[in-house]
């Protein structure tokens, strides 16, 4: 009677397609804030093993809960269920607040490498070795001065002022990320053909994440 329960009476599962991924580690995470859109996350994970249920195994996906309003962390308050929006974000870098940004993408990469070793005894199991974690912030916006250009040709690492990336909501929830020790690795200053504004793209490469805080009513699980 439960629509999320697997069917143990059939060799080929015909009720729920369920695969259980074990030993997951985040390889890359990207946070994107585009003009007039919600803030979005994309996560790529490396998995040690993907388990396929045997015919004799019964499993309830979503813990067998059919109605999502009965989840223990569900709230009926609309403001809490709304996402963070691009318009409520701020970016501070090189001691300046950037107000004319039209899109921003933050990418964090753990540089995991899948490996298999002699004597593991199971060809369906793999391991992963982490390498240096990297951070990259790509921004696109309208130029109001030549700050980004000067920082590019400056060719030195910024160590005195942190990057501050903050998203807020009217109900008090917020996401705060701060980075230090960064430099501008690339940017483009195209000349507009139609005498319009100059749209600049830039890539900022921080070395250290110094703060990551989230204020939310949701219970953070992990």
pLDDT tens per residue, range 23-66: 899 999 999 999 999 999 999 999 989 988 888 888 888 888 88
Residue 220, pLDDT > 80, answer no
Choose between 153 and 209: higher pLDDT: 209
The answer to whether 100 touches 142, Cβ cutoff 8 Å, is: yes
Which of the two residues, 149 and 85, has the higher pLDDT score? 85
What is the tens place of the pLDDT at every residue in 103-156?
999 999 999 988 888 777 677 888 888 888 999 999 999 888 888 888 888 878
Could you give the CA distance from residue 10 to residue 95 in angstroms, rounded to a whole number? 63
What pLDDT, on the 0 to 100 scale, is given for residue 69?
87
Tell me how far the alpha carbon of residue 100 is from its chain's centroid. Answer: 23
Residue 194 has pLDDT above 80, yes or no: no
pLDDT of 181 > 70? The answer is yes
177 Cβ contact list (under 8 Å, min separation 6)? 106, 163, 164, 165, 166, 209, 211, 212
In contact, 113 and 140? CB cutoff 8 Å: no
CA pair distance 142, 201, nearest whole angstrom: 9
What are the backbone dihedrals phi and psi of residue 160, each rounded to the nearest 5 degrees, phi first?
A: -95, -20
The owner of tokens 């917020």 is: 174
User: Residue 195 pLDDT > 70, yes or no?
Assistant: yes
- Quote the pTM value: 0.84
> CB–CB of 39/83 below 8 Å?
yes
- Residue 33 CB: number of other CB atoms within 10 A? 24
Quick one: pLDDT at residue 222?
56
Residue 101: Cβ within 10 Å count: 18
Residue 58 has a pLDDT of 83
∠ CA 217-82-137, rounded to 5° = 90
Report the alpha-carbon distance of residue 186 to residue 170 in Å, rounded: 35
Helix (H, G, I), strand (E, B) or coil at 153: helix
Phi then psi for residue 150, to 5 deg, are -65, -35
Which pLDDT value is given to residue 125?
84
Task: Share the mean pLDDT of the chain.
Answer: 87
Whether residue 221 has pLDDT greater than 70: no
Band the pLDDT of 206: cuts 50, 70, 90. Answer: very high
Any idea which of 34-38, 97-101, 169-173, 206-210 has the lowest mean pLDDT? 97-101
What letter does residue 85 receive in the DSSP assignment?
Answer: B
User: Which of 96, 197, 196 has its CA nearest to residue 148?
Assistant: 96
pLDDT of residue 108: 95
CA within 13 Å, CB half, 49: 9
193 has a pLDDT exceeding 80: no
Interatomic CA distance for residues 94 and 97, integer angstroms: 8
């Amino acid at each position: 009677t439960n629509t999320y329960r697997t069917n143990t009476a059939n060799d080929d599962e015909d009720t729920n397609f369920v695969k259980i991924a074990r030993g997951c580690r985040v390889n890359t995470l990207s946070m994107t804030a585009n003009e007039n859109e919600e803030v979005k996350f994309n996560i790529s994970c490396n998995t040690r093993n993907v388990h396929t249920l045997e015919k004799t195994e019964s499993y309830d996906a979503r813990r067998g809960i059919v109605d999502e309003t009965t989840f223990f962390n569900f709230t009926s308050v609309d403001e809490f269920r709304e996402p963070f929006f691009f318009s409520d974000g701020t970016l501070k870098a090189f001691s300046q607040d950037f107000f004319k940004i039209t899109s921003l993408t933050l990418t964090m990469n753990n540089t995991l490498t899948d490996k298999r070793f002699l004597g593991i005894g199971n060809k369906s199991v793999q391991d992963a070795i982490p390498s240096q974690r990297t951070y990259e912030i790509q921004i696109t916006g309208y130029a109001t001065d030549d700050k980004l250009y000067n920082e590019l040709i400056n060719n030195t690492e910024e160590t005195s002022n942190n990057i501050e990336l903050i998203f807020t909501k009217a109900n008090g929830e917020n996401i705060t990320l701060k980075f230090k020790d960064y430099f501008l690795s690339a940017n483009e200053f195209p000349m507009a053909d139609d005498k319009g504004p100059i749209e600049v793209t830039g890539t900022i490469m921080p070395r250290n994440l110094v703060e990551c805080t989230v204020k939310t009513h949701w219970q953070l699980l992990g």
